[in-house]
Amino acid sequence: MKHISRLAFLVLGTFSFMVAHTMAQESAMDPERIRNIVILDETAVLNLGLETALADERSFETTVFAVGRIEEIPARRYSLSSRIPGRAVELLAFEGDKVSRGQLVARVESRQPGDPPPVIELHAPVDGMVVASHVLAGKPVEPDMDLMDIADRSEMWAVARIPERDAAQMKPGTRARIRIPASGGEVIETTLLRFGVEADREAGTVLGVFAMPNPDGRLVPGMRAEFSIIVAARDGVLSVPREAVQGDPARRVVYVKDFELPNAYLKVPVVLGESNDRYVEVVRGLWLGDEVVTKGSYSLGFVGGGGGISLKEALDAAHGHAHNEDGSEISAEGAVSHNDHDHHGASSGWLVAYTVGMTALALVLAFRRARPAKGIAPC
- Note the pLDDT tens digit of each residue in 111-152: 888 888 899 999 999 999 999 999 999 999 999 999 999 999
User: What per-residue confidence (pLDDT) applies to 33?
Assistant: 76
User: What per-residue confidence (pLDDT) applies to 231?
Assistant: 95
Please tell me which residue, 98 or 360, carries the higher pLDDT value.
98
Cα–chain center distance at 100: 42
Three-class SS state of 241: strand
Q: How far apart are CA 40 and CA 364, in angstroms?
A: 50
Query: Which sequence spans correspond to the domains of the chain?
Result: 1-27+341-379, 34-60+236-312, 64-72+154-234, 74-151
Per-residue confidence band for 322, with pLDDT thresholds at 50, 70 and 90 = low
Per-residue confidence band for 304, with pLDDT thresholds at 50, 70 and 90 = low
At the top level of CATH, which class does the domain 74-151 belong to? mainly beta
Q: Which amino acid is at 139?
A: K
Instruction: Give Cβ neighbours of residue 230 (< 8 Å, ≥ 6 apart).
Output: 61, 62, 63, 174, 175, 176, 177
Do the beta carbons of residue 73 and residue 126 sit within 8 Å? no
Q: Which amino acid is at 69?
A: R
- Reported as a single tens digit per residue, the pLDDT across 188-231 is 999 999 999 999 999 999 999 999 999 988 999 999 999 999 99
Length of the chain: 379
228 closest CA partner among 63, 26, 99, 351? 63
Element (H, E) at 110: strand 104-110
Element (H, E) at 198: strand 186-200
User: What per-residue confidence (pLDDT) applies to 13?
Assistant: 46
Q: Which whole-number Å values give the CA distances from 234 to 62, 168, 170, in the listed order?
A: 8, 19, 17
User: What per-residue confidence (pLDDT) applies to 355?
Assistant: 53
CATH topology of domain 34-60+236-312: 2.40.420
> At CA 80, angle to CA 75 and CA 85, rounded to 5?
145
φ, ψ (nearest 5 deg) of residue 51: -130, 150
* Residue 372 DSSP one-character state: P
Q: Lay out the sheet containing 77-80: strands in order across.
A: 77-80, 148-151, 128-133, 98-99
Q: What is the CATH number of domain 64-72+154-234?
A: 2.40.30.170
